[in-house]
Amino acid sequence: MAKYKHTIVKNGKGGYVVFPPFVTQKEMDLIEEKFVVRDDDVFVTAYPKSGTTWMEQIVHLTLNNGVQGDKVLSEAVPWVEGINRYQGVEKLLNQQAKPRRFHSHLPYHLMPGAKLNLAKYIYVARNPKDNAISFYFHSCSKLGYDGTWDEFFDLYIQGKVGYGSFFDHVLDWWQASQKSNNILFVKYEDMKQDLRQAVKTVADFLGVKLDEELWEAIASQSSFESMAANPQANLDWVYQRPEFPKHMRKGIIGDWRNYFTTEQNQIFDEIYLKSMKDTDLQFDFGEGIII
């Protein structure tokens, strides 16, 4: 089995969860100690590879009157649990932007302030087959993973990849969103289907009024093509291994069909149906398959 570099941290529910190598219990303790959430803070949250950067771009533009500015997106909407890797806790918390804005992949139970219903949280979820494929390429290009897709598939279905099980992550956030007006739950596939509507939903949630021109500008600057061509938004600067695709890889629904074997698909469907049996949350897997 190929080695997937990781750490193990407390999951906030009495157990443990697999995290990426650069987020350890030390960072989580620091966050718990220092992160005082303000009621106007805005968090973009997601299981990795679900469209986090895409939502960061929409939120950033919405709060910034459609102006991209010269900061790269991951500085404009900094990464909560990346405190030691990138910005340091003071810079993270003392950002000049008002309201402060953050992005994070933390599970619901570890997210600063989430249970207090103080700040605003926008959670993006994506169908897990496309998510797994995107996560595989991300692990190869940015996390030094050198295993095969087949090996990654096994890790993914066991929840042994960064931030743990897709199902635990998404279902905890989904359930919380059903009980809280402070959490907006958005699906990647709905954003693909109607980006303008997604921008409107986000703006309404953030209490920002959009005129037609601004609305159009935000949607246009948030398209896959615009973001891929935009050095502030395309994350090329964190891209490490040129033999693998960049962060803005394909941005489509249904790419999993090019990689899942028939057997993997059967295994995945069984796990999916079992994990999702008690929820009304559904995902669009492309070509009209909604489960």
CA atoms within a 13 Å half-sphere pointing along the CA-CB vector of 211: 2
User: Could you tell me if 131 and 53 are in contact, meaning their C-beta atoms sit under 8 angstroms apart?
Assistant: no
Stretch 136-155: interaction string toward ligand A3P, x if CB under 6 A: -x------------------
For ligand A3P, the binding residue among 11, 50, 139, 141 (CB under 6 A) is 50
Q: In angstroms, what is the minimal distance from the CB of 264 to ligand A3P?
A: 17
Give the residue with the Cβ less far from ligand A3P, 10 or 250.
Answer: 250
Nearest to 265 by CA among 124, 126, 125, 132: 132
Instruction: Give the contact letters, 53-72, x = binds to ligand A3P (CB under 6 A), - = no.
Output: xx------------------
Contact range with ligand A3P by CB under 6 A, out of 157-165, 171-179, 243-251, 275-283 = 243-251
In terms of Cα–Cα distance, which of 259, 245, 16 is closest to 133?
Answer: 259
Q: How far is the CB of 176 from ligand A3P (least distance, A)?
A: 19
224 makes contact with ligand A3P (CB under 6 A): yes
The one segment of 51-59, 74-82, 197-205, 268-276 that binds ligand A3P by CB under 6 A: 51-59
Q: Interface with ligand A3P by CB under 6 A: which range of 27-35, 107-115, 216-224, 270-278?
A: 216-224
Helix (H, G, I), strand (E, B) or coil at 43: strand
Query: Which is nearer to ligand A3P, 109 or 192 (by Cβ)?
Result: 192
Assess 46 for contact with ligand A3P (CB under 6 A): yes
For 78-81, the CB contacts below 8 A with 24+ separation are 78/102, 78/103, 79/103, 79/104, 80/31, 80/35, 80/43, 80/104, 80/106, 80/111, 80/112, 81/23, 81/27, 81/28, 81/31, 81/105, 81/106
Return the closest-CA partner of residue 259 out of 273, 245, 274, 242: 245
Chosen residue from 251, 254, 259, 267 binding ligand A3P by CB under 6 A = 251
Spatial distance between the Cα atoms of 110 and 15, rounded to a whole number of angstroms: 12
Residue 138 is a catalytic residue: no
Q: How far apart are CA 238 and CA 244, in angstroms?
A: 13
In the list 51, 78, 112, 128, the residue contacting ligand A3P (rule: CB under 6 A) is: 51
H or E segment and range at residue 16: strand 16-19
Does position 123 interact with ligand A3P (CB under 6 A)? The reply is no
- Asked if 77 is part of the footprint of ligand A3P (rule: CB under 6 A), the reply reads no
Residue found by looking up tokens 């059903």 in the block: 178
Q: From the candidates 105, 109, 138, 247, which is the catalytic residue?
A: 105
Nearer to ligand A3P, 116 or 289 (CB): 289
Shortest Cβ distance from residue 249 to ligand A3P (Å)? 3
Provide the 8-state DSSP code for 7. Answer: E
Q: Is 223 in the site for ligand A3P (CB under 6 A)?
A: yes
The amino acid present at 18, given as its one-letter code, is V
Contact assessment for residue 202 and residue 103, using Cβ atoms and an 8 Å cutoff: no
**Quick one: which of 248, 256, 268, 286 contacts ligand A3P (CB under 6 A)?**
248
Binding site for ligand A3P (CB under 6 A): 46, 48-54, 130, 134, 137, 222-224, 227, 248-251, 255
Among all residues, which ones are annotated catalytic?
Answer: 105
